[in-house]
Structure formats: structure tokens, C-alpha cells
Amino acid sequence: MSDTDGKKPLGLGGGARGPGQVKQSFSHGRTKSVAVEVKRKRVVVPTKPGTPGATGGASGTATHLGDPSKRPAGITDAEMERRLAALRAAKAREQEDAARRAEEEKAREEDRQRRREEMEAKEREDREREAALRAKAEEEERAARAAEEAKIAAAAARKAEVLGTRPKSAPAPEAPVAAKAAPAAPAEDATTRGGAAPRTPLAPRKSERERDERATDRDRGKVKGDEGRRAGKLTLSDAISDEGGRQRSLAAMKRKQEKARQKAMGFGQKAEKQVRDVQLPETIVVSELANRMAERAADVVKALMKMGMMVTMNQTIDADTAELVIEEFGHKAVRVSDSDVEQAIETVADRAEDLQPRPPIVTIMGHVDHGKTSLLDAIRKANVVAGEAGGITQHIGAYQVKTPNGALVSFLDTPGHAAFTSMRARGAQVTDIVVLVVAADDAVMPQTIEAINHAKAAKVPMIVAINKCDKPDANPQKVRTDLLQHEVVVEQMSGEVQDVEVSAKTGKGLDNLLEAIALQAELLELRANPNRAASGAVIEAKLDVGRGPVATVLVQNGTLKKGDIFVVGEKWGKVRALINDKGETVAEAGPSVPVEVLGLNGTPEAGDVLNVVETEAQAREIADYREKAAKDKRAAAGAATTLEQLMAKAKADLDVSELPVLVKADVQGSAEAIIQALEKVGNEEVRVRVLHSGVGAITDSDVGLAEASKAPIIGFNVRANATARNSAQQKGVEIRYYSIIYDLIDDIKKAASGLLKAEVRENFIGYARIQEVFRITGVGNVAGCLVTEGVARRSAGVRLLRDNVVIHEGTLKTLKRFKDEVKEVQSGQECGMAFERYDDVRAGDVIEIFEREEVQRSLA
């Protein structure tokens, strides 16, 4: 069948129309013939080499240039020349590419040949090594077999000598092999031949024949083994040829050879199972249990499923179940507790020869504005008071002072305000000596008594410093007398407590105070071991911009060095820098030295204990355990509440108004003091609720929380950053800044007082007696009254008394004087009164007239 399939091919010409005519069809049968100009395009066919037209480039160019009929239409001589030049350049590039490919192919072939030769050389070495090992093994086997045969022959000879007859023909140990090799020549038993005596010369010939057969079999097996071993080798000819189907890869052959080599050298035996001591806490994750046993997690999960527990490798199991799994795998379980991580902290008692004298730690305590900081400034020759807001101490400070005789003394300055009870308690717990400062013109005050109680609770000695003795109205004797009421007997009153009269302003008695401290320290014999891991107490902690969390630590034992890894409360860190009280960076801090520590991962709580550990992993593990324990403790406290208690608390809270606040302070101790002070503000009707407290600047998250809870933000010695300020302005969150704790507490009290319900007071303004009762249509009963006392007002409240018993309380509907409605009626005048929605009035009843007044309450 042709391509046209009997159909005429399409073309421009056809019918009566001449060439170049096209008939167009339109609607309604209309047609139109259009003349078409046809141009034929010349196709340039490249000439093949060897043809007469395939001459040099110059001749071809000349031919085309000279013969315009063979040139494509519209092509100029210059364009034709450019095309020919491009064609020549393309042919040159093709030749260069072909030459380069040939060189690369040659190099690859050489590389393949080199690798092939290296591989064959390595295989030859492997074969030679295997042949040597095999020959050695065969030699050893042959020697062993020969020794065994000699032993058997000697035993047979001894037996024959003992019996005196030829031994019964029995096959040698290799008889089955020999019989298998030559089944056509079975041995005849001597007993089948009439019991004739055996022929002795046949035995050695049979043994020689068997040995020859065995040697022949070995040689045959060796040849066959070599052929079988070589049959699996992949050679170049085998790889090229398609015969034999799919072959094993070279890697598989190498693995097989390596396995055979290891088996020949004795490495194929399975390793003996190692029994491990598995540390088993109270709960453990399945994957961690498998890791500690050095077993596959899938095997552990399978063992648990056999016990009936459908668990995954990420689930937690209890210690009893884990112990069963450990025993099943053949290991030993060692029960440990989560609290065992604390054992990483060194608690070894120091030897007496390692202890060295250390400076005493002295805490200055007393009532607010009794001159504690001024006294310490006079000793240090500094001026801390000038930089304190309001002239009062609101932070606990730690300083080290060198006395005139060269001895070092560490001082802790505590606040005296009532809100800083926790700070004073911390100061008393870490101190060796308490200096109780009492103003001579003010005597014993509430915080003085509190300081005495803290010192007694900590069981530390006390020195009384009677300050402000330079004032005219100073009375030191009254101070000594007042202290007797609190069981503090000074030396001048025949007691044991030292007392010194001092003046921070004039410097009077400061030397005597330092001597008293030195004497007390000498009696205490304060000693510590500086050559051990450091431990200390956190006096204060804060979040500093640029430096991060900073903790003021008083080292109590050992020496804290830069680079030490430590754990403090629920936080841990590595000492990045140590800064002393003068702002200088130091490399280490010994016992009784206060320093600022940088490098914590978070802000610790004031009062936490700092301990140096060996590794970062230990520190992180201890901190995680403490954090988890604290979280569990909080959760347990909440879970212990029953539903009835929750309902009772919710019912009680319905009548209590709350003032929510957010507190941000500069240091941890100040935040703690503010929270404790705010918790004391309020009564049974209103209370202050601290939603969140923290250390550091006020941030966007604080503003977001305050907006959600409609609470103000209290900033104590901190400020909000720029984004937090803009956010607070947009969201309408109030931010209040304070630098004095007095002002903060007073403002919170005023705000809480605004939540108190106003107190309603009744003021009696008059009495009236009903003389007559009139019945008026449309109004009801109207009482004709005489105002006997005070005044009767239209807007006032009234009570109807009958026989001095209140029977109705309400308001007046009308108050008339004659026929006119009036606002009030004075005493001694008559009037008409009608009660709102009450008509049971009788002559002789008394009307009590009063006004209600709302009085705004405030918290004390």
C-alpha cells in the first residue's frame, strides 16, 4: 500500500485554475479566487567527502560565490563568507573534541588496566597466603593422623602380644573411607574360613594400601578444591564473556574469602557474653535501659512484650519490671535512687592538718535608719549611703575590709526595713559574728528585736554597737537596759555580750569595735580548707544587662577559681569571671571572700548553696534533678487539694476582691521582699495577688501577661525596654517605677483600698408622730404627723416604729405641708406623709427619719 493510499496529494494548483490560484469559500455559497505568489526555498545539503564538490574551503567558497544560482535567496557574499567560516570553526572544534575524547578514553583504559593489575596482584597474594595456611593446616593434620595411627598400631601390637594370637581383623579408623573408595574388595572375616589362624603378613599390606588410597583421595580433593576455589573467581575474560549467566560479584567473593580466612585463623567463634552491672533508678526509659545493658532496643521491647507489656522504646517502665528484664538478659541490676546524683558533691570532712585560719564573716543588723550602712562606710572609708535611694539600704551588700592591724574582715550589710526579713535571716545564717547596731537616741525598735531573734536562731555570737553617741539626746544606758528585756545582757551589765559606743559620723569607737570583732573571731578559732572544691552561699542574685545572670557568692570553704563548673540550687554554670567588692576581676576567691560570679545559665534564688563539681554533665544532671523535684513538690501540693476544698475556696473567693500585679526587681532579694510585703497587704475583703515576679528589665512578655490579666506592672529599680514601652502604650498597660520600697507599698495599699466596699453610715435627722390617718382616693392612707425632733426631708429614708418595734422601712411617696408638696418640714410643724407601697399606718406610730452616707474605707 502506498503512502498516499490512492488519494491525490494536496497542492496549490488544481482544476481550471492556473498555478498560484487559491479558491476561498465564504458563507451563502460565495467563493473568491486569490492569486498566490509561491517562492521555492533552496535547501543546502552538505557534500560528502570524496565527491567532486568536496574540495577545499577556498574552492567551495569560490564556487558558491561564483554561482549565485546555488546560493540561498537573500544571502549576500559577506553573509555567505561568515557562514562558511562558522562551518569551518565547528568542524575544527569537532576534531579537537574527538581528539580529547580519545585521549581521555586512553587514560581511563590505562587506569582500568592499572587497577586490574593491582587487583590481580592482591588476589595472587591472598591465594598464596591461603595456600600457605592450608598447607600448614594439612601438615599439622597429617602429623596428628600419623601419631594417631602409630598409637593405634602400637595398641594392636600390645594386644596381640598379650593374647598370643593374631588380632581379629577390624577396620582402621579410616576403614569407612577406604571401603567407600574401594567397595569391590571387601575384607573377609577370619571366622568365616573355618576358624583358621590369621595370616600375619596381610595386615601391613592392607594398611599400606589404605594409606595410599587416602593420599590419593587427598590429592584428588586438593585438586578439586583448587578448581572449585578458582571456579568462583571473577576474571576479566569471564566478565567480558556472556557465558555462564549471572556471576557472583567481586565484593561477594572477597567477603567469602575473608570469612574463610578468619575461620581458618580461629576468629569465627562467637564472643562470650559480657555481664554488666546496670544502674537502675526508680523509673527508666526502655531505650535507656537497652543502652545501659548494651543490648538492642528491639530485643528489650520484644522481651517486655513476652511479659505482656505492650510498650515502645520511648516509654517509661518501673524499676521492678526493668529488673526482671535485666535478669532475663543475664545482667545484674544495681538499684539507685534519683537523689544519688547529689553524691557527686564532695562532702568529705577536712583533716585537721589541712585547715587554715580564715577571716571572720560579720553581719551588720539593726533597725532601719539606725546607721548600719553609715557605720560600715566609716569602717571602709567609703560612701555607700550617698548612692542609696531614699537614704535607706534595700539590698544586702558584701564587702571585705583590711583593719589597721592588717587583718581581713568580711562584712555583710543587711537592710533594716521590715520588708527585708528574709535578707536578714540569710545574713544571720552565713555569718560568724552579728554586730547589732542600735541608735542611742532611739533605743530598741521592732527590727532590732527581729535581728536579735535571727542571731539566736543561727546560734552566732553578738556584739552590740550603740551608734549615734555624738547626738545630744543620746542615752546609751537606756539601750543597755532595753536589751535586758530580750535576754541580751551586755558586759557593763555583768553579761557576756560585748558592747561598744560608736559614732559613724565622728569615727568615735570604731577601733574598739574592730578590736571586739577580732577578739570574738579569735575565740571562735575560724578555720577552713582552701585546697578543696569550693562551696559557698548565694547572698544576692540579679540579671544584669550585658553580663547575664550574676550571683553574689560568699565562699565558705575551698577556693573558687575561674573555669570551675558548679551547681547552685536549680541552676548550674561555669565560672566565666570573678569580681570582688571593689569591682576588680580576680582569678580565685578563697574562704570568707565575697565575689560576684558570672557564667550561670539562669538567675538562682538568694540563699542557695553553690558547690563545685567535676564535670559539666554532673552539674547539669544535679540541676535537672533539683528542678524536677521542685516541680513534683509543687504538683503534689496542688494535687493534695480535694474537690470539696476547691469548692469551698471558690465560694470564699466570691466575696474577696483581688488586685493582680506583676513585680520586676533588680535583684532576687528585693523581689522576694516585695512579694512578702504585698502578701501582707489586705484583709478578708481584698488582697493583692502577685501574678508573676522576676529579676531584670520589663519585657514584651510581661506586658502581654499584664494586658491579659488587666494588672499593673511594678518595676523596682528597673525600667522597661523600648519595645516594652511602646507595647504598653498601645495596649494601655500601666507601668509604675519605684526606687523606695516605702512608696511602693503605700501605693499598693491605696490601690487595694479602692477595691474595698464603701461603708454605709446612717445619720438620724428627725422624728415625727402620727396624729391622724386620712384615707384619700388615688393616694391611699396619708398620715397626719407632727415633727417632734429634727427635720423631715422628702428624699430621706424612713422607718415606721410601733411600740418601739420596726415594722416597715422604706421611702416617702409624698410630703405635704397643707396642700403644697414640700422638700422638708422643720421641727414643731405638722405635715402629711404617705409611704411608698405601704398603707398600714395607725395613729400613735412614730416615724424615724434618717439619711445614708457612704464613707470610703482604707487599709491600715
Cell of 279: 544502674
Amino acid in position 662:
L
- C-beta of residue 389 within 8 angstroms of C-beta of residue 740: yes
Q: DSSP letters of 38-85?
A: --PPPPP-PPPTTSTT---HHHHHHHHHH-GGGSPTT--HHHHHHHHH
Span 9-29, pLDDT tens digits = 444 444 444 456 777 778 777
Number of Cβ within a 10 Å radius of residue 446: 10
Note the pLDDT of residue 98.
Answer: 93
Span 467-523, pLDDT tens digits = 888 888 888 888 888 888 888 888 888 888 888 888 888 888 888 888 888 888 888
Cell of 706: 499584664
Span 44-99, pLDDT tens digits = 555 444 444 444 444 444 444 445 666 666 678 888 888 889 999 999 999 999 99
Cell of 699: 519585657
If we measure between CA atoms, which residue out of 859, 509, 510 comes closest to residue 687? 859
Q: Which carries the bigger pLDDT value, residue 27 or residue 340?
A: 27
Note the pLDDT of residue 220.
Answer: 52
Mean per-residue pLDDT, 372-383? 76
Note the pLDDT of residue 640.
Answer: 53
Span 653-667, pLDDT tens digits = 777 788 889 999 988
pLDDT band with cut points at 50, 70 and 90 for residue 305? very high
First vs last C-alpha separation in the chain: 119
Please give the Cα distance from 420 to 425 (Å, whole number). 9
Burial 42-77 (b: 16+ CB within 10 A, else e): eeeeeeeeeeeeeeeeeebbeebeeeeeebeeeeee
Mean pLDDT (the chain, rounded): 78
* Alpha helix stretches (DSSP H) within 529-659: 616-639, 643-653
Q: Which residue has the cell 555607700?
A: 384
Please give the Cα distance from 510 to 408 (Å, whole number). 15
Note the pLDDT of residue 518.
Answer: 87
Please give the Cα distance from 662 to 691 (Å, whole number). 6
Taking the CA atoms of 78, 79, 80 and 83 in sequence, report the sign of the dihedral they define: positive
Q: Which residue has the cell 408622730?
A: 769
Radius of gyration for the alpha carbons in the chain, expressed in angstroms and rounded: 56
CA distances from 626 to 416, 608, 836 (A): 32, 12, 70
Contact partners, residue 294, CB within 8 Å, separation at least 6: 274, 276
Span 565-613, pLDDT tens digits = 999 988 999 999 999 888 889 999 999 888 999 999 888 888 888 999 8
Amino acid in position 652:
A
Cell of 613: 563539681
Quote the percentage of the chain above a pLDDT of 90.
Answer: 14
If we measure between CA atoms, which residue out of 683, 665, 685 comes closest to residue 674? 665
Instruction: Indicate the range of 123-127, 350-354, 531-535, 708-712 predicted with least confidence.
Output: 350-354
Note the pLDDT of residue 606.
Answer: 80
Mean per-residue pLDDT, 195-223? 49
If we measure between CA atoms, which residue out of 406, 420, 421 comes closest to residue 518? 406
Note the pLDDT of residue 231.
Answer: 52
H/E element, 478:
helix 476-484
Q: Which residue has the cell 553580663?
A: 547
Q: Are strands 686-695 and 657-665 parallel, antiparallel or unpaired?
A: parallel
If we measure between CA atoms, which residue out of 245, 32, 218, 229 comes closest to residue 135? 218
- C-beta of residue 281 within 8 angstroms of C-beta of residue 288: no
